Amino acid sequence: MKAIRIHGPRDARYEEIPEPKPGPDDVLVKVKAVAICGTDVELFEGTMFYITSGMTKYPFIPGHEWSGEVVETGANVTAFRPGDAVVGECSIGCRKCKRCLKGSYNLCVNRRETGLLGQPGGMAELISYPQHFLHKVEGLSFEQAAFIEPTGIAVNPARKTRITPADRVAVIGPGPIGLFAVQVARAYGARQIILVGDSDFRLQAGLELGADAVVDFRKGDVGERVRDLTNGEMVDAVIEAVGRKSVWPTIASVVAPGARVAMTGLFAGEICDVNFDPLVVQEISVQGSLGAPGMWPECISLHQRGLIRTDRIITHRLALADFAEAIEISRSRREGVIKVLLTP
């Protein structure tokens, strides 16, 4: 079969490799759609933390936002059959350690992560996947189903910040995760949603997807603008989705006392300068947010109920063989890109 394999920094090859052989607890899936994530750009460039720390070894097949159709099942598999439309989780826990048994399999020290760590990703014609981390996606197109994973990356911080209809919410970063976070906050009934960023077309997309207001940090003081928009109350919850070290002053400038902050971005090794005094004095809670453990049924349901849209987020469609071009489009943000979708 054909697959994309990354052999080193900026060395991705579309090449012929053996087809995967599913084990007794695995499902063989024909990949129908796979999306480029900002993490894939970092993997291609060799700057992603898993590579710089030595956790991920070359060569590997990327692609953790994917969907497909079951073509074969292992001897122990009863929940899936050929023809089922499915998506696979990113985090694959050992299912035995204390973290897995508590449901935090995204923190399992022996975990695999699709397209990142020990589990070949979806940028291939076929993928073999463990049944316990696979989900059916009835009623969704393969294109839409490929975005269950990034929806989960937005659902997790929404849960961690405990968004309710009483809350004003700021989403920092109008990239794909930020745009999904806007929609999740709206689905959770947030009182007011403010999207902060520096891209005109992405901020416009945010307004179309449910943001009440947008703030372009190139055009003035973000804190003062948020103060005006909230009648001086500031925001109760912040979802960070940008992965830039300059984000900390922005967060500190918009939070209300007692606010909750969830960090989803990866900073490619950049060290942030943080003034903790405002965080301490105002009792701001800050949490990291990784993956979406146990949240995939909810994410699928949000899509099935029409509460999450992907049509405004998919801006480019290419063949899997055009991976290098897709990476460049995503990296350079050219041509009004938000999300590039590949078809094997």
Residue keyed to tokens 């970092």: 42
Taking a C-beta distance cutoff of 8 angstroms, is the pair 58, 8 a contact? Answer: yes
Number of domains in the chain: 2
Pairing mode, if any, of strands 126-130 and 26-35? antiparallel
Together in a domain, 117 and 67: yes
Together in a domain, 219 and 103: no
Together in a domain, 200 and 70: no
pTM (two decimals):
0.93
Q: Is residue 305 part of a domain?
A: no
CATH number at residue 209: 3.40.50.720
Q: Is residue 140 part of a domain?
A: yes
Together in a domain, 229 and 328: no
pLDDT confidence of residue 268: 67
CATH number at residue 7: 3.90.180.10
Q: Write out pLDDT tens, residues 146-185.
A: 999 999 999 999 999 999 999 999 999 999 999 999 999 9
Q: Is residue 293 part of a domain?
A: no
Structure tokens at 22: 């599913």
Together in a domain, 121 and 251: no
Q: Which domain holds residue 272?
A: 152-288
User: What's the CA dihedral at 225, 227, 231, 235 to 10 degrees?
Assistant: 110
Q: Write out pLDDT tens, residues 122-138.
A: 999 999 999 999 999 99
Together in a domain, 248 and 169: yes
DSSP calls for 87-112? EE-SEE--SSSHHHHTT-GGG-TT-E
Together in a domain, 140 and 18: yes
pLDDT confidence of residue 277: 86
Q: Is residue 295 part of a domain?
A: no
For 218, counting Cβ atoms within 10 Å of its Cβ (0-12 exposed, 13-18 middle, 19+ buried), the class is exposed
Q: Is residue 171 part of a domain?
A: yes
Together in a domain, 14 and 96: yes
**Three-state DSSP class for residue 67:** strand
E-strand stretches of 173-245: 192-197, 213-216, 235-240
Q: Write out pLDDT tens, residues 1-29.
A: 999 999 999 999 999 999 999 999 999 99
User: What's the CA dihedral at 96, 100, 102, 106 to 10 degrees?
Assistant: 170
Together in a domain, 35 and 105: yes
Question: Which whole-number Å values give the CA distances from 114 to 17, 64, 89, 243, in the listed order?
Answer: 18, 5, 7, 21
Together in a domain, 126 and 165: no
Together in a domain, 234 and 125: no
Helix orientation angle between 296-304 and 148-160, rounded to the nearest 10 degrees: 110
